[in-house]
Structure 1
């Protein structure tokens, strides 16, 4: 595809089922919707927006409902997957398009996959970063997560379930908590093998008790951390955490799609040091049947969870190469 001069970032608000959604747009051409994960914002795509725009695409990163400048419904059930998918459809329509490619990271990967599964006519290709596709089905999620770790530890997803509990830990020092959480899952600052795993809590403990206390990871400047912290200090963490609190509802809502593959063109990019990649290795192996139109799975050596920020040039190259095959 022919490259054009990169335009400036454009911020805009569109109407959606969430109420209002904040978007950041750059470039012209085929539409690519970029979906962030926890605890991030549109800003996590700051390296991809100019690269995709320069490659000839209309790249749009959004604040998912509950984050940043987007609306934050008060009801926990307002964060179910079906509603987030309809937000994405509304964004495509608000931008005057009939279809788009969708790329997501972390929770955004799950939302991107569900969008492609439920609306194949709207989302014609899907890119998944860090979290592979696992079709709906299996046991109830909270039952699964409740068994992880055993009686001596609590898995962080279970810790996030009770409204207000994680907020009480995070919100008195948002910046410090975010710095520790980002460092805990970054390749250059994560705990060494054999040290306590920050995905788990000791009985009566806090997540931050197992976070690294050294320097920030190389990908995260003080200014970058200020951006993330400033947003969550303003909004609080409840909207973001409610995504975890609707997992059982999602399991019920998506029951009709149990075991369903995503048949659109797809790509997966993960980090070799990311727990999402290693714990879900079976899901990556199953992509040959769950993502039958998968172009490739890329696992980047020496990379942690924040993949598009830790290794932006590699991710940009892999995404633009994949997107070029779709246009061909």
Structure 2
């Protein structure tokens, strides 16, 4: 097992530890201007946004990528892996970074956090870009598909065994998941090694699976019923959905149904040939789409 120093990847960004919502979060920050907050997905950490950090900063924004609760060099408490608490984390980070609000960009579970924050903390979310992330109310379509994402979610419900499987043989399963969920030709050897090392940090395997356990089990619990009722409120901020056309983990047709939950300006952008990680599989195309969209939403008076 390694310590969390492997999350401090060198680059043009600055690493900081930020206190927010009663926890400490590791962030990588680059640029000046309106705040754009990036939230990674599974099985990754802040480094997933390295291409977008530089592109967005070069375009005149303050780009900040955070390690979510339980990942990378952020705190790994025993509780708090429900989407409501995670949305509080995101809203708290916005304030702790000294901004009134931010454009939130989230991938996978980070996108679910973004959708939740847009409903629960609308004053903190100026706009939302959801990458490979359907609205939580449309997640059922992904489960019904019984694709690799749904199968992983179901297997994660077992106690202990999924954690051991992720950690076995130097976290080789993490690399398997990246290849299984992506389009052909990704990840390269260096990228796979980076994510496998990050998953070797103590507690990350368990904490990451706690997200998936809450997402699934809350469907039959009172806290989940309250969450679902609240999430039926329409999202009123501008939304961009970026989605790989070859995403088998979260099929595009189910994700696109999220438009019905958006009352604000909405845009869908398919990324041809990309799977579940379009921001890494096709980084230049995703960065271009994001920067173009930001020009219309990041500096508009609310």
Q: Do both proteins adopt the same fold according to a TM-score greater than 0.5, normalized to the shorter chain?
A: yes
Q: Paired residue for 2:17?
A: 13
Which of 92, 95, 101 in structure 2 is aligned with 1:93?
Answer: 95
1:283 Cα deviation after fit: 4.5
Q: Paired residue for 1:214?
A: none
| Alignment size in residue pairs | 280
Question: Do the aligned residues in 2 keep the contact of 1:32 with 1:59 (CA within 8 Å)?
Answer: yes
Q: Paired residue for 2:278?
A: 307
Separation in 2 of the partners of 1:148 and 1:128?
A: 20
| Alignment deviations for residues 218-263 of structure 1 (CA, whole Å, 9 cap, x no partner) | 4x33322222122211224001111011123362341331522101
| Alignment deviations for residues 23-45 of structure 1 (CA, whole Å, 9 cap, x no partner) | 11000000001000100000100
Question: Do the aligned residues in 2 keep the contact of 1:175 with 1:226 (CA within 8 Å)?
Answer: no
Residue 121, structure 1, aligned to residue 135, structure 2: no
Residue 237, structure 1, aligned to residue 233, structure 2: no
Q: Paired residue for 2:152?
A: 156
| Alignment deviations for residues 252-306 of structure 1 (CA, whole Å, 9 cap, x no partner) | 341331522101011011011102552x52451450x311323420112211111
Task: Kindly report which structure 2 residues correspond to 1:1-328, keeping only aligned pairs within 5 A, or say none.
Answer: 8-17=12-21, 19-75=23-79, 78-135=80-137, 155-188=151-184, 217-218=185-186, 220-235=187-202, 236-247=204-215, 248-249=217-218, 251-278=224-251, 281-285=253-257, 287=259, 289-326=260-297, 327=299
Structure 1: runs of 5+ lacking an equivalent: 1-6, 189-216
Q: Paired residue for 1:193?
A: none
Runs of at least 4 residues of structure 1 off by over 3 A? 134-138
TM-score, normalized by length of structure 1? 0.79
Per mean C-alpha deviation after superposition, the further-off stretch among 28-37 and 16-25 is 16-25
Residue aligned with 1:13, SS? strand
1:89 Cα deviation after fit: 1.4
Structure 1 residues 302 and 13, CA, compared in 2 at 3 Å: closer, same or farther? same
Separation in 2 of the partners of 1:272 and 1:256?
A: 30
Separation in 2 of the partners of 1:241 and 1:23?
A: 21
Question: Do the aligned residues in 2 keep the contact of 1:136 with 1:258 (CA within 8 Å)?
Answer: no
1:111 Cα deviation after fit: 0.6
Separation in 2 of the partners of 1:131 and 1:111?
A: 10
| Alignment deviations for residues 66-105 of structure 1 (CA, whole Å, 9 cap, x no partner) | 0010010123xx2111111111111111111111110100
Structure 2: runs of 5+ lacking an equivalent: 1-10
Question: Do the aligned residues in 2 keep the contact of 1:25 with 1:61 (CA within 8 Å)?
Answer: yes
Question: Do the aligned residues in 2 keep the contact of 1:269 with 1:297 (CA within 8 Å)?
Answer: yes
Q: Which has the larger radius of gyration?
A: 1
| Alignment deviations for residues 162-216 of structure 1 (CA, whole Å, 9 cap, x no partner) | 231211212122442122111111211xxxxxxxxxxxxxxxxxxxxxxxxxxxx
Separation in 2 of the partners of 1:176 and 1:239?
A: 18
TM-score, normalized by length of structure 2? 0.85
Residue aligned with 2:291, SS? helix
